[in-house]
Amino acid sequence: MKPILITGASGYIGGRLAPELAEKGHSVRCLARDPRKLSGRGWGDLVEVVAGDVLDRDSLARAMSGCGAAYYLVHSMGGGERGFADRDREAAHNFAEAAAEAGIERIIYLGGLGRRDEDLSDHLSSRHEVGRILREGSVPAIELRAAMILGAGSASFEMMRSLVSRLPVMICPRWVRTRSQPIAVRDVLSYLIGCLDIPVGPGGESFDIGGSDILTYREMMLRFAAILGLKRWIIDVPVLTPRLSAYWVNLMTPVPAGLAFPLIEGLKSEMVCEDDRIRRLIPIEPMGFDEAVRRALDRIQRNEVLSRWTNASLRRRPAPEFDPSSFPIREEQVVRSGASAEVLFDRVRRIGGEVGWYYADALWEIRGGMDRLIGGVGLRRGRRDPVRVWTGDAIDFWRVGDYEPDRRLLLHAEMKVPGDAWLEFRVRPLDEGGSELTQTAYFRPSPFWGRLYWNALYPLHSLIFRGMARNIARAADREAETMTREASGTAIRPVKPMS
């Protein structure tokens, strides 16, 4: 069986497609700009990971060698960033040409819906152009066009959930009355996998895929609120532009403005399937909106979010290799705990998200708010899972650069900062019992502003990092004491009344 190549395996859809194909018995090869982001996942040992980039023809040739089919699941979200359409165009041409040279038998691409005769947003226009380029190549290509994807961890889903949960009254642009046909992530995966077997000839095929309901965004938000048991009021006004709406979403949800803008701009276009030919080739019964939302909420409740929009880094290039000796500034804290190394590290790996940062959480929130105001990611991204950690995971405004269970957690800063910042936690057992935490902040400042930033905030940084290390150790000690009491049977338990 020839391997199947997946590009974008570290993203939301690719991160679910790769393990599913592997579990079905397929040989899977994943192309990743940073292979470290896939190595720590639970399914990393089921696939082959190769380093490369769709903008690098040589790396594509190496990745495609011997493969039978190739999934194209990468794209730029735009968000006002200049040149994103040019990069998407170049990447699509590279992929189509490299696939032809490698003897790939078919390409499968996930694009976006939108009426072909309308003036689409820049983002949707680029998605359509990529599909056209792939289909015009000599390798038969199948393009699937989808609207909003409903699933735990998708950017569109989390944006809607945050707005509905936090705002009793929502003032929205008039485009919330535009019709759309959202689709459950489960159905998207079924279609993507089914495309491996359906017939495709020269010139390729383009199929629209959608769920069983056609709704306006306004209707979706009201139905979402009803599922949550909430009463919400929506006022739509003509004065809110996509740009202003994106800044509002940036402040109220985990989704940053750069990602929110293309999502909101796409609301101007009706995103409804123009045909249902795919249903005859891949006979599945798509979920309705309510069922898809309930399934996603259940996944979140059970901490079973397999992939999240935050898996994809905002950086266009992989993070630099971490070399401690290359940082001129470092702040180190060493604390001891009576708990075992396993218990101490358990407190470390839970950092961020709902747990917080163990010390001065209000100051962390202020820093996150400042980051949001200047276009950064802020703290609201939270965590994919409250306990489990993958290399490549986002944790608030950090990204996991490396993870060694019970030993080491390395975080790379993605907040706006004048330099390059890392935060490392190392835990080791002590011969005399207990364990030791070494917490080190590393900073490589930009020539002027970076030095000024660090020196001005050094007293605050020192206070926060010292308090954080101490409180992590104290939390571990409390946990160890609780475990000891429970093991000895002396833990306080409620007394049942006598019958």
Kindly report, residue by residue over 46-83, the tens digit of the pLDDT. Answer: 899 999 999 998 999 999 999 999 999 988 764 445 67
Which fold does the domain 324-486 belong to in CATH? Alpha-D-Glucose-1,6-Bisphosphate; Chain A, domain 4 (3.30.530)
Q: How far is Cα 139 from Cα 148, in angstroms, rounded to an integer?
A: 28
Q: What is the pLDDT of residue 317?
A: 57
Q: What is the pLDDT of residue 262?
A: 76
Question: Does 99 have pLDDT greater than 50?
Answer: yes
What are the tens digits of pLDDT across the range 131-152?
999 999 999 999 999 999 999 9
Fold of 4-311: Rossmann fold (3.40.50)
Model pLDDT, residue 60: 94
Q: What share of the chain is helix, strand, coil (3-state, %, to 5)?
A: 40, 20, 40
Count Cα neighbours of 82 within 13 Å in the Cβ-side half-sphere.
Answer: 0
- The per-residue pLDDT for 316 is 53
Q: What is the mean pLDDT of residues 464-488?
A: 92
**Which sequence spans correspond to the domains of the chain?**
4-311, 324-486
pLDDT given for residue 1 in this prediction:
80
Total-model pTM: 0.85
pLDDT > 90 in the chain, percent: 57
Residue with tokens 């001065």: 360
What pLDDT shows up at residue 419?
92
pLDDT score for 80: 47
pLDDT tens digits, one per residue of 253-264: 888 777 777 777
Determine the pLDDT at residue 64.
95
Residue 249: predicted pLDDT:
80
pLDDT on residue 291:
97
Q: Which helix (H) or strand (E) segment is 279 a member of?
A: helix 277-281
In this prediction, residue 497 has a pLDDT band, given cuts at 50, 70 and 90, of: very low
**pLDDT value at 492 more than 80:** no
pLDDT of residue 220: 95
Distance CA 219, CA 98 (A): 44
Q: What pLDDT, on the 0 to 100 scale, is given for residue 499?
A: 35
How many other CB atoms are found less than 10 A from the CB of residue 326?
Answer: 11
Region 334-339: what's the mean pLDDT? Answer: 96
Report how far residue 154's alpha carbon sits from residue 171's, in angstroms, rounded to the nearest whole number: 23
